[in-house]
Chains A and B, each alone.
Chain A
Amino acid sequence: MLILHCPYCGIHADETELAPGGEAHIRRAGPGSDDTEFENYMFARKNPKGVHFERWRHVHGCGKWFHAARATDTLEVFGTYPAQTTEPPEEILAHIRKRRPDWKGFQG
């Protein structure tokens, strides 16, 4: 069972209170982009065994979208953080590096 701390209402929300929103920090390839860039934006998603950044919504709760950093192999949660950011905050990254010294780092 996955439990994520919602940064907006402060509840430690059970997975069944949440709705998954897929990979986080995807940058839109808009007008002016070529077909490959648009295809990547539209269809290509990371599927790592290990550290992953995701979007979640506290749907049966305060209703807000937020971000979570967790490990897909162990289900360890490194932290959650607000949605109003285009990349993970430094304290989350520092915590991941401590827990996973061989981690390659965030690639947007």
Chain B
Amino acid sequence: MSEPWMPKPLQSFQGAVMVARHAPVGMITLRGDLDAAEMAAAVKGAVGLAMPAQRRIRSGKRGAVAWMSPDELLLFMDHDRAPVAVDRLDKALAGGHHLAVDVSDARALFTLAGHGVREVIAKGSPADMAPDALPVGEFRRSRIGQVAAAWWLSDAQTLHLVCFRSVGDYMFDWLCVAAARDGLPGFLAV
């Protein structure tokens, strides 16, 4: 269900799809020149992955790296590893203009699993959730209701979502209501 680097769920709900909120995960906001060789090497060192293409996420055993904007990445890893990883990134990128910040405790991570995860999100977001507009592995930043969030599908029926922790409780409640049993129209269900 979840990616290898994701911690266990703290709480979960079974409705039309399963909604789970994960225990804290390590997240680092990394900004700088994404075309620089030093950046690619730093990312490789931190999570063992190559640079993601525009709007894509790469996920592996040690973590994940998501494309946030032309000069920003979001790294995922074990919660304990994030502070050390920031130090290593700063060393690897020293001399170049960059920013590496441990945002682990400012974020919440969710997983939705089941037929129709796309429809749950489509209820509260302007993002096009159709499979051709949001293929597996594409990282979509948008909003749920009035709340900023980003999500991606790791397979056709598994969706992961990140938001600010300050709205994490709201997000969990919102997702559970949107995922109520018999509450999906079956329009985008796979």
Q: Interface of A with B (CB < 8 Å)? A: 8-14, 16-17, 60-64
Q: Which of B69, B126, B128 contacts A9 (CB 8 A)?
A: B69
What is the CB-to-nearest-CB distance from A2 to chain B, in angstroms, rounded to a whole number? 11
Q: Are B126 and A62 in contact (CB under 8 A)?
A: no
Top-7 shortest CB links A-B: A14-B126, A62-B69, A60-B143, A61-B141, A16-B126, A8-B70, A60-B142
Interface 1/0 per residue, B134-150 and A, CB below 8 Å: 00000011110000100
CB–CB B142/A62 < 8 A: no
Q: Give the interface residue-count category, chain B.
A: 10 to 19
On whether the beta carbons of A62 and B141 are closer than 8 Å, the reply is yes
Query: Would you call B98 an interface residue if the criterion is a C-beta within 8 Å of the partner chain's C-beta atoms?
Result: no
User: Which residue on chain A has the smallest CB distance to residue B148?
Assistant: A60
Residues of A within 8 A of B141 (CB): 9, 60-62
Of B70, B128, B143, the residue contacting A62 (CB under 8 A) is B70
**B:36-71 near A, CB below 8 Å:** 54-55, 68-70
Given A10-B54, A10-B55, A17-B126, A64 and B70 touching (CB < 8 A)? yes
Checking B54, B68, B69, B143 against A17 with a beta-carbon cut-off of 8 angstroms, the contacting residue is B143
